[in-house]
């Protein structure tokens, strides 16, 4: 029974990893990455490592998606270099 | 290369690798069967030698406290690197939030998010400190609790605004607090050197197993690590928020 649960959870980890790779939109990929982090944390709890699971939940669920989304927002809002009368390299 | 070709190539590479993975996992010891020397030794001696029930915390903060000091310095270096990389350059100016018209105040987040943020911040902050302080009695410790506290403090930005985050979690104070906490960790190790001629030797009374003040220097190190990790992560988030929301290239 326990072996079956272990196997199911490992399969879920594999599926979640595949989903992270297959999602191509960066914003959605961030959320799928958060889901993958939570699944990994459950996996860590399954093998009786609660300290690691706590770290994984906070870092992978809250801090890494925050940093990723802020970076995406910053890089998307940068305006392309404007064209001046004397050419694109003149400021 | 089209996505379909990529998928097919991926699956074709995953099948032999997956077979290798399954074969190697099947050849592992059964779960719980451990053949190392130190693991079983730590399980036997931790309670008598350190008077705490959590062998993991004893290994991290006492038996291998030097490695944890290295991890602290890694975190400090990472936070300093991020602060250096995301510093404000000469040709970048600070503006208001980009989704607000110039001259108008920022839009506050919706009331649902504000309420949820207040609840999560209060609960997360207290629960994070619980994880830090009880680190030697239950799973947790400095790193985990510090990350939980930082996640709660970031609610100031998620459910408030970047101005609230900057005013309630000012960068100057957090930088000093993190530096003082890391220095405190090193000074705790030096106190062992001064009194017993061994770095990180325990100098505080060991106490009784199960009590809050047991394990000698372990609760103190837990609190110091918790403070430094929490402030470090909040500083990282602040740098990102500052760079993403307020800093603009001046054209």
Residues of A in contact with B148 (CB under 8 A): 54, 58
Higher per-residue confidence, B106 vs B222: B222
| Shortest Cα–Cα distance, B189 to chain A (Å) | 24
Q: Residue B236: how many CA atoms within 13 Å on its side-chain side?
A: 24
**In terms of Cα–Cα distance, which of B87, B85, B104, B86 is closest to B95?**
B104
- In this predicted structure, the answer to whether residue A84 has a pLDDT above a threshold of 60 is no
pLDDT tens readout for residues B17-42:
989 988 988 888 777 777 778 888 88
- Cβ-nearest to B251 among A58, A74, A82: A82
B119-161 tens-digit pLDDT: 999 999 999 999 999 988 888 889 999 999 999 999 998 888 8
Per the model's pLDDT, the better-predicted residue between B210 and B219 turns out to be B219
**ipTM strictly over 0.85?**
no
pLDDT of residue B115 exceeding 90: yes
Least confident window among B31-40, B92-101, B162-171, B183-192: B92-101
Rounded CA-CA distance B235/B184 in Å is: 19
Quickly list DSSP for A26-62: HHHHHHHHHHHHHHHHHHHHHTT-HHHHHHHHHIIII
Confidence band for A12, pLDDT divided at 50, 70 and 90:
very high
Residue in A39, A41, A59 with CA at minimum distance from that of residue A50: A41
Give the pLDDT band (50/70/90) at residue A82. Answer: low
Which of A6, A54, A77 comes nearest B139 by C-beta? A54
- Angle, in degrees to the nearest 10, between helices A2-22 and A26-46: 160
Q: What is the DSSP track for B3-24?
A: HHHHHHHHHHHHHHHHHHHHHH
Residue of A nearest to B7 (CA): A22
The verdict on a CB contact (< 8 Å) between B151 and A62 is yes
Share of chain B above pLDDT 70, in %: 94
Q: Please judge whether B147 and A79 are an interchain contact, meaning their C-beta atoms are less than 8 angstroms apart.
A: no
Reported as a single tens digit per residue, the pLDDT across B53-111 is: 888 888 889 888 899 999 999 999 999 999 999 887 776 767 666 665 566 677 788 89
For residue B129, the model assigns a pLDDT of 95
- Could you tell me the two tokens for B63? 């038996």
C-alpha B86/C-alpha B239 separation (Å) is 6
Cα B42 to Cα A16, A25, A42, B26, B64: the distances in Å are: 35, 47, 26, 27, 12
Minimal Cα distance from A61: which residue of B?
Answer: B151
**Which of the pair, B97 or A21, is modelled with greater confidence?**
A21
pLDDT attached to residue B211: 83
Residue B125 confidence (pLDDT): 95
| Tokens representing residue B157 in the block | 């930005």
B241 chain-A contacts, CB cut-off 8 A: 70
| Alpha carbon distance A6, B1 (integer Å) | 36
What value does the CA radius of gyration of chain B take, rounded to a whole number of Å?
Answer: 24
For residue A25, give the DSSP letter: S
């Amino acid at each position: 029974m326990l072996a079956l649960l272990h196997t199911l959870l490992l399969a879920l980890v594999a599926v979640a990893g595949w989903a992270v790779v297959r999602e191509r939109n960066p914003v959605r990929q961030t959320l799928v990455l958060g889901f993958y982090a939570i699944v990994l944390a459950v996996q860590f709890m399954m093998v009786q490592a609660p300290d690691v699971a706590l770290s994984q939940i906070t870092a992978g669920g809250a801090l890494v998606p925050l940093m990723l989304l802020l970076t995406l927002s910053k890089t998307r809002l940068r305006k392309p270099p404007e064209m001046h009368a004397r050419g694109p390299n003149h400021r | 290369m089209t996505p379909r070709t990529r998928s097919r190539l991926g699956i074709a590479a995953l099948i032999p690798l997956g077979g290798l993975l399954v074969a190697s996992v099947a050849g592992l010891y059964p779960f719980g069967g451990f053949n190392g020397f130190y693991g079983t030794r730590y399980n036997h001696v931790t309670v008598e030698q350190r008077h705490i029930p959590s062998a993991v915390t004893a290994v991290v903060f006492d038996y291998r406290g030097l490695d944890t000091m290295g991890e602290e310095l890694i975190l400090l270096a990472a936070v300093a690197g991020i602060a250096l990389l995301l510093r404000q350059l000469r040709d970048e100016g600070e503006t208001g939030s980009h989704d607000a018209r110039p001259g108008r105040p920022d839009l506050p987040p919706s009331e649902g998010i504000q309420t949820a943020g207040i609840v999560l911040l209060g609960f997360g902050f207290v629960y994070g400190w619980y994880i830090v302080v009880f680190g030697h009695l239950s799973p947790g410790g400095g790193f985990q609790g510090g990350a939980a506290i930082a996640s709660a403090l970031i609610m100031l930005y998620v459910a408030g605004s970047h101005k609230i985050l900057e005013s309630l979690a000012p960068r100057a104070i957090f930088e000093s607090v993190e530096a003082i906490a890391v220095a405190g960790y090193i000074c705790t190790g030096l106190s062992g050197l001064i009194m017993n001629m061994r770095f990180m030797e325990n100098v505080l009374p060991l106490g009784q197993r199960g009590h809050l003040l047991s394990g000698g220097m372990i609760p103190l190190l837990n609190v110091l690590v918790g403070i430094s990790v929490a402030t470090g992560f909040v500083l990282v988030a602040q740098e990102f928020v500052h760079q993403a929301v307020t800093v603009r290239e001046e054209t």
